[in-house]
Structure 1
Amino acid sequence: MSQMKIAVAGADGRMGRMLVDAVDAAPDAVLAGALGLAGTPAIGQQVGQSGIRIDADLATGLAGAEYLIDFTRPEGTLQHLAYCAEHGIKLIIGTTGFDDAGKAAIAAAAEKTAIMFAPNMSVGVNVTLKLLELAAKSFAEGYDIEIIEAHHRHKVDAPSGTALKMGEVIADALGRDLKECAVYGREGVTGERDPSTIGFATIRGGDIIGDHTVLFAGTGERIEISHKSSSRASYATGALRACRFLADKATGLYDMQDVLALKD
């Protein structure tokens, strides 16, 4: 059985180390490269069972790779994106915080190589997204919708990419545009709640991996749909599942709903 040759971006970070371990543990995968930021102490360090060294040079770090898993920052991912598109390396993107231009660049690169792009690769989160789509259609009238998310103190973007994806799924199910109906903060005299809005609340603290709750608040009842992560291992497992999904894809832009066959 041939093994998937996988490189990991940000291999010295919390998520990167988890991804390296997941690749090493998978019988159908081998670590083929590791990327890090130039000038950091991680450059040159060995990672994984194969002793691959972390490299800042893309040509060196990706020389033997067929796939790159990237959970870093938008600016770094976009640099990796251009290289992967040019050299036909398949890309699994879990990075969050992209602006519209960044998302457009990912879509354009997918015309040259296969890309799986999702703000959260947990199987549980993506099943939750499907549940939210079904729930939103049932609670379209008479229910106020609020999305509450909590993450560790080191997370730099808010709301989380997963929370925004939840909002997009709900808004689409209701025939709304999230850009027009989202409310990201409340302070002072805000007036009565507009029933057409979708509210977001953000919590940052400690070492919370990622908690997300969507509240449908009606008259006389509240429905809460929640997902709580206790380990980043579920993200790594999902990323490897995405690699397997892309194995027979040459180009195209996909998400975890495609990987899990959850689309209608």
Structure 2
Amino acid sequence: MRSTDDPIRISLYAPEGRMGRAIRDAIDADAGFEWDQDRGDVLIDFSAPDGLRGSLDRAISGGIPLLVGTTSLDEGHDSLIADAARTVPMLKAANTSLGVALLTDLVERAARVLGPDAWDIEIVEAHHKKKADAPSGTALHLGLAVERGRGFDAEEELGRCGTGLTREAGSIGYAAIRGGTVAGDHDVMFLGPDERLILSHRAENRSIFAKGALAAARFLVGKPAGLYSMRDVIDAA
């Protein structure tokens, strides 16, 4: 049994991926963690949707918590995660930045206060040119925060193009920008009569996601089986 003074051992499902390497660098810089592929206290998966079943099987067989940071998951993947959460602690995060976790909370509050009648919402995100999915998982996650704040599901308006377009009341517009080496920019724009509120986050370096993943791993140690989120992490801070 590990002592509370022992470093938290992290196993990575995809250690050679971009996020895997970033997390390994973060582990090297933090004496509270060590990388141990065979005897991890927490398993972290930032691989791809088709790798999810393998990481779930590994977490369940080892009886250890799993942090899933993979994006582009569908309802079938969500069902697998929910099933696994009955056996082991699970944390699913479209973005492990602590700043984005706080942004998500602020977006939900703003959507609740401002309401849908007079305020339109547009979510604009920018990422590096190699990112294969759009809108980003974080943008869609922020859209869900809007829906929670408003209390109803919203229509999505994706990548508008053409003429004679009309904006549906209560919808959420998404725009994606791809280019260069952008780590991740997100703007949630509340556009009202004669005023605008813009809530923004800028990721300067991939290391912020790695540090947030380690904060989430620390949170998961010792937790009972269940499905957790980054909001649980910041609420516990």
> Within the alignment, does 1:157 sit opposite 2:161 as a pair?
no
Of 23, 33, 43, the residue aligned with 1:29 is 33
Tell whether the 8 Å contact from 2:156 to 2:174 is kept in structure 1 after alignment.
yes
Q: Which runs of 5+ in 2 are unaligned?
A: none
1:7-46 alignment, distance < 5 Å: 7-33=11-37
Aligned counterpart, 2:73: 98
Inter-partner Cα distance in structure 2 for 1:234 and 1:163: 17
CA drift of 1:193 comes to: 1.2
Of 92, 99, 103, the residue aligned with 1:128 is 103
Tell whether the 8 Å contact from 1:150 to 1:202 is kept in structure 2 after alignment.
yes
Could you state the TM-score of these two structures normalised by the residue count of structure 1?
A: 0.84
Inter-partner Cα distance in structure 2 for 1:77 and 1:25: 28
**2:78 is matched by which residue type in structure 1?**
K
Please state whether the residue corresponding to 2:36 is helix, strand or coil: strand
Residue-pair matches, total: 231
**Displaced runs of 4+ in structure 1, greater than 6 A?**
none
> Within the alignment, does 1:188 sit opposite 2:162 as a pair?
yes
Of 222, 229, 232, the residue aligned with 1:255 is 229
Tell whether the 8 Å contact from 1:85 to 1:110 is kept in structure 2 after alignment.
no
> Within the alignment, does 1:209 sit opposite 2:213 as a pair?
no
Inter-partner Cα distance in structure 1 for 2:127 and 2:174: 14
Inter-partner Cα distance in structure 1 for 2:7 and 2:84: 25
Of 135, 138, 145, the residue aligned with 2:113 is 138
> Within the alignment, does 1:83 sit opposite 2:58 as a pair?
yes
Inter-partner Cα distance in structure 2 for 1:100 and 1:150: 25
Tell whether the 8 Å contact from 1:86 to 1:112 is kept in structure 2 after alignment.
no
**Residues 171-194 of structure 1 deviation map (CA, whole Å, 9 limit, x = unaligned):** 12112214xx11112122353211
Aligned counterpart, 1:67: 42
Please state whether the residue corresponding to 2:200 is helix, strand or coil: strand
CA drift of 1:129 comes to: 0.7
Inter-partner Cα distance in structure 2 for 1:114 and 1:25: 26
Could you state the TM-score of these two structures normalised by the residue count of structure 2?
A: 0.93
Q: Which runs of 5+ in 1 are unaligned?
A: 34-62
Tell whether the 8 Å contact from 2:42 to 2:220 is kept in structure 1 after alignment.
no
Greater relative contact order (CA < 8 Å, ≥ 6 in sequence): 2
Aligned counterpart, 1:36: none
Aligned counterpart, 1:53: none
Aligned-residue Cα RMSD (Å) equals 1.4
Of 155, 158, 175, the residue aligned with 2:151 is 175
Of 81, 105, 114, the residue aligned with 2:89 is 114
Aligned counterpart, 1:222: 196
Tell whether the 8 Å contact from 1:122 to 1:237 is kept in structure 2 after alignment.
yes
Inter-partner Cα distance in structure 2 for 1:121 and 1:188: 36
**Residues 140-172 of structure 1 deviation map (CA, whole Å, 9 limit, x = unaligned):** 131111000111111111111110010001012
Inter-partner Cα distance in structure 2 for 1:9 and 1:68: 7
Inter-partner Cα distance in structure 1 for 2:111 and 2:91: 26
Aligned counterpart, 1:50: none
Inter-partner Cα distance in structure 2 for 1:99 and 1:192: 29
